[in-house]
Structure 1
Amino acid sequence: MPFGKKPAPRTGRRSVGVTAASFLAAASLVLSLAGCSIDTVAPAGARDEAKGEAGPVDCRQAKCIALTFDAGPGKDTPRLLDILKKERVPATFFLLGKNHVVRHPDVVRRIAAEGHEVANHTWTHQVLTDIEPEEIRQELSRTQDAIAKITGRKPTLMRPPQGRTDDTVSEISRELGLAQVLWSVTAKDYSTTDSDLIRERTLDGADRDGIILLHDIYDGTVPAVPGIIKELKKRGFTFVTVPQLLAPAKAEPGTVYRP
């Protein structure tokens, strides 16, 4: 996900993760590099260990899938919200703080008011495994505070830029009350404005318990959403937010969730 320039790696830090250019598949995998590994939890695994009622949608029974949007809000987000409202589809928005949340408070407020999940995608989109612990904490906490100032509630979910995480990121996320959410399919919409291609890539990777990664800041993405929704409904999918996908389990701070 080439969003801005990547800082030079720090000496002595081991980074783990996947780029947004990779199609991620299969449940309960382990992210590993240079001997460091991060366990991930699949939605089905989280649900299997939980007790109680799931809420209005029970993904233990329904064929669920979660739409998620990164790096907004932007100029096209209101149009996206119109589409989601018309189709009665909830989504999860991983928002950037600087130049996004702070510039579009009314849109952030609307995302929350219309029943979508508001989540954290850092302050400036720095790769968290490449920066110092205090910088990681600032990247996450500044966005937490900015969102809470607008919505009255701090997020409980975050998505690390490029999906890159490690033990230090996980520990700081735990301290801040944030679970980490990766994905199962991406349309690589940062690399094309072809809405038909974005739709095709998304649908090709869609599966039960999937988490779809899109960006509402790129020109080709929002026009692709109606076709994605229409086809997935036709295939019998029920759209849910990430917390609904995990229910009756609760997202555990620090844990990395990935289908």
Structure 2
Amino acid sequence: MFRSRPGRRGGRTAALLTAATLMLTLGGCAMDTVTPQEARAESGEDGKAGTETRRVDCAEVKCIALTFDAGPGKDTPHLLDILKEKQVPATFFLLGRKHVDRYPKVVRRIADEGHEVANHTWTHQILTDLDEAEVREELSRTQDAIEKITGRKPVLMRPPQGRTDSTVGDVSRELGLAQILWSITAKDYSTTDSGLIRERVLAQAHRDGIILLHDIYDGTVPAVPEIIDELRNRGYTFVTVPELLAPGTARAGAVYRPEKD
């Protein structure tokens, strides 16, 4: 039913997770999740700092995090132009093979412009289908590639299709990576209709939400300006994932997922 990793364009259908499958997967392996509210209540002393001093207090401000998976791609520079113009920080979960290694200047720009650079594995294989050594290879290879370009290893990862288990958690903990899931998805792998992508995001938006989009599909980047404008009109402040969790810090190995209101 699913392909093992996404294509770069809308013509190559991606294998991504529905909310129902995500619940089933996590429930089936008894993985506990941490909400942003719970993270903020933690001291963070055992976590990994993921960002500079926070700009906002998400316990007081209506925050939402914009995240992009499986890039960078050919449209990512245009997306960065949009985010720069609108002064919106985002979190980029980067794919290694044919993305990080193909667009090193874009990876550097993402970091230089203040966005959070995170790990989405090397080849987008489903980590729960792999043994421990294979999971480690998928994550560590991307860690090393990003560090070589930016000078810093990521502290966040997103497992492909949101599928995780105790082995993935153990390896993530070993590599200093917290696992970040989502609560808002436009399923932009399934449509090139930018208006529909926008509507899906806006219909699901909620405080402390994490939006999942992809900067590799044709309809996504054109939808971003109107998503930003409308959510700002609704009183939202855009933050990176580490800012959403602050003053707590993302604990390596832990699974973070917002709950809708």
TM-score exceeds 0.5 = yes
The residue number in structure 2 matching 1:50 is: 43
- Tell me if the contact between 2:25 and 2:164 (Cα under 8 Å) persists in the aligned partners: no
The answer for the alignment partner of 2:187 in structure 1 is 188
* Corresponding position: 1:216 with 2:215: yes
Note if contact 1:30-1:40 (Cα within 8 Å) is conserved in structure 2: no
2:61 matches 1:62: yes
Amino acid at match of 2:160: P
Any unmatched runs of 5+ in structure 1?
Answer: 7-18
TM-score (norm 2): 0.88
1 CA distance for matches of 2:177 and 2:63? 23
**2:32 aligned with 1:39, yes or no?**
yes
Q: Post-superposition shift, 1:32?
A: 1.1
* Distance in 1 between residues matched to 2:80 and 2:183, nearest whole Å: 23
Quote how far apart the aligned CAs of 1:23 are: 6.9
1:21 paired residue number: 18
Deviation of 1:68 (Å): 0.2
1:13 alignment counterpart = none
- Of the structure 1 ranges 163-172 and 47-56, higher mean CA displacement relative to structure 2 is found in 47-56
Offset of residue 25 of structure 1: 10
Provide structure 2 residue ranges, at least 5 long, that are not aligned to the other structure.
7-15, 46-51
Asked if structure 1 preserves the Cα contact closer than 8 Å seen for 2:108 and 2:150, the reply is yes
Q: Tell me whether 1:77 sits opposite 2:76 in the alignment.
A: yes
Regions of 4+ moved over 6 Å = 23-26, 51-54
Tell me, yes or no, if the aligned pair for 2:44 and 2:250 is still in contact at 8 Å.
Answer: no
Identity %: 70
Q: What do you get for the CA RMSD once the two structures are aligned?
A: 2.4
Task: Indicate whether 1:204 and 2:197 are aligned.
Answer: no
Per-residue CA deviations over 1:121-167 (Å, capped at 9, x if unaligned) read 00000000001110000000000000000000000000000000000
* Superposition deviation, residue 20 in structure 1: 2.4
Report deviation, 1:5.
Answer: 5.9
Shift of 1:30: 9.4
Relative to the length of structure 1, the TM-score reads 0.89
Q: 1:51 to 1:111 in 2, by over 3 A?
A: closer
Instruction: Give the aligned residue type for 1:21.
Output: T
Sort the Cα spacing of 1:128 and 1:208 in 2 relative to 1 into closer, same or farther, 3 A.
Answer: same
